[in-house]
Amino acid sequence: MTTLLKVQNLRKSFGGVAATDDVNLDVTEGELHAIIGPNGAGKTTLITQLSGAQKPDSGSVTFKGTNITRAPAHARAKLGITRSFQITSLVMDMSVMDNVALAVQAKEGHSFRFLKPARKVKNLRDEAREMLVQVGLGDRADEPTIELSHGEHRLMEIAIALASGAELMLLDEPMAGLGSEESAKMVSFLLGLKGEKTILLIEHDMDAVFALADRISVLVYGKIIATGTPDEIRNNDDVRHAYLGEE
């Protein structure tokens, strides 16, 4: 198993607060690696530094052997990293299909193509439809995105991440705000992706995390206090004390 993503000594502070405090993390190809931690532990801040939306103060991020610490977000996406958003981030005034097709289109290299109508480019549409069918939104493809429910928006986020063809998917709380039935659906869907995609998952739902993850890292106040298999984490005293003990 090769290491796909390597994070070394990553630091980021806002004012006096260290949101990311000397984080070291390896994500192995094909694994589902979960990051858990109490509210305000710096999980989303960590994701933004991996996706490129924010730059760390120091430390390095290496993806497939390339140092991408300073690479802008769009360049990282081209290399094969995609993220979903904790707070749904879609183009609301476009159709469901258009949103996913834009993700497929992003793989084409560049989009300085001015003549042919994008909605008539068959391979874009076909691939996007395939992704929507996969997440169970095939019949809602032509509706305006804004008409869909929150749960469906979460599924769109996943469809877009899949459609972008990224090797590494950074999923920021895909279950956020979902009802128990929708959550269960999402878990079974992510289970189906295991092995196909490398996933770094941030999630609050502990049942989901322990059902899905190959390895878990626990982030508390910007520091990773433990990394291991679900069983190791469950039995780790520090983790119990810092995190699970609160529940």
Partner 1 sequence: MTGFKRSSWITLATMVGLLILPPVFFWTGNAFYLDLATRLVILGIAATSLNLVLGYGGLISFGHAAYIGIGAYAVGIPVYHEFYGGFESVASTNGLFQIGMAVVISALFALITGAISLRTKGVYFIMITMAFAQMAYYLFISLDEYGGDDGLVIEVRSELPLINLDNPIQLYLVCWVSLAAAMLIVRTIIHSRFGMVLQGAKGNNERMVTLGYNTYLYRLVAYVISGAMAGFAGALMGNFSSFISPEMMAWSRSGELMFMVILGGSATTLGPVLGSMVFIVVEEVLSSFTIYWHLPFGLMLIGIVLYVRGGLMGLFKGKGD
State the residues that interact with partner 1 by CB under 8 A.
Answer: 51, 53, 72-75, 77-78, 82-83, 85, 89-94, 98, 101-103, 105-108, 111-119, 121, 124, 160, 164
Minimum CB separation of residue 99 from partner 1 in Å reads 8
Minimum CB separation of residue 1 from partner 1 in Å reads 26
SS3 241: helix
The span from the CA of 112 to the CA of 116, in Å, is: 11
Pairing mode, if any, of strands 58-63 and 66-67?
antiparallel
Minimum CB separation of residue 142 from partner 1 in Å reads 13
Residue 75 or 191: the one with the smaller Cβ distance to partner 1 is 75
Residue 53 or 226: the one with the smaller Cβ distance to partner 1 is 53
Residue 185 or 197: the one with the smaller Cβ distance to partner 1 is 197
Residue 90 or 226: the one with the smaller Cβ distance to partner 1 is 90
SS3 167: coil
**With 0-12 CB in 10 A as exposed, 13-18 as middle and 19+ as buried, what is 79?**
middle
Sheet architecture: strand order including 66-67: 17-28, 3-14, 58-63, 66-67
Residue 70 or 119: the one with the smaller Cβ distance to partner 1 is 119
Minimum CB separation of residue 116 from partner 1 in Å reads 6
Minimum CB separation of residue 89 from partner 1 in Å reads 5
Cα–Cα–Cα angle for 199, 167, 178, rounded to 5 degrees: 40
Looking from the CA of 3 toward its CB, the CA atoms found within 13 Å total 13
Q: How many CB atoms lie within 10 A of CB 161?
A: 23
